[in-house]
């Protein structure tokens, strides 16, 4: 899977980074963080706060938080750029593409990272990452020991689309 982005996608993200201030001058590593997924796949917000604070302790690390809709917004901090809800999918893919790594839950953005060639660390709970990591992706999985681990295959997929399709 490959996703080909154009110059405009990168220009928008680059412009937002340029506006982020002088604290970003020391940044040599960029971490994209996606804090949202379906409730059964999301980390509690307090865990994200701890992770972002730990990453932010290094003055050479910049953090770009991506997402949309009801995804979490990070607390305001130096070298943390909140892009949640500010980018379309292609621009979000560009933000992931320029990052050195993406950290996020089992969600579509792990597949976007694979499609743009960005290494990722996926956070998994009940789903088996061996069945979910995009084929050929440079991704590592961290799996939480939850009671229902592996039970995802036993549950029907949620129908969030009110439109029914007939074949």
The pLDDT profile of the chain, 167 residues, written as one tens digit per residue, is 788 999 999 999 999 999 988 889 999 999 999 998 777 777 888 999 999 999 999 999 999 999 998 889 999 999 999 999 999 999 999 999 999 999 999 889 999 999 999 999 998 877 777 777 777 788 878 877 666 655 555 554 444 434 333 33
- pTM of the full structure: 0.84
Q: Which residues contact 82 (CB under 8 A, 6 or more apart)?
A: 65, 73, 74, 76
Nearest by Cα to 68 from 93, 43, 103, 97: 93
């Amino acid at each position: 899977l490959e996703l080909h982005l154009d110059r405009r996608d990168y220009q928008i993200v680059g412009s937002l980074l340029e506006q982020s201030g002088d604290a970003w001058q020391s940044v040599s590593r960029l971490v994209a963080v996606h804090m949202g997924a379906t409730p059964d796949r999301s980390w509690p917000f307090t865990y994200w706060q701890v992770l972002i604070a730990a990453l932010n302790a290094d003055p050479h690390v910049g953090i770009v938080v991506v997402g949309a809709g009801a995804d979490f917004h990070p607390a305001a901090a130096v070298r943390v750029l909140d892009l949640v809800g500010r980018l379309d999918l292609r621009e979000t893919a560009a933000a992931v593409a320029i990052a050195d790594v993406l950290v996020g839950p089992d969600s579509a953005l792990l597949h976007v990272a694979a499609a743009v060639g960005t290494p990722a660390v996926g956070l998994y709970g009940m789903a088996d990452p061996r069945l979910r990591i995009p084929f050929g992706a440079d991704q590592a999985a961290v799996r939480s020991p939850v009671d229902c681990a592996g039970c995802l295959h036993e549950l029907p997929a949620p129908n969030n689309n009110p439109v029914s399709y007939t074949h």
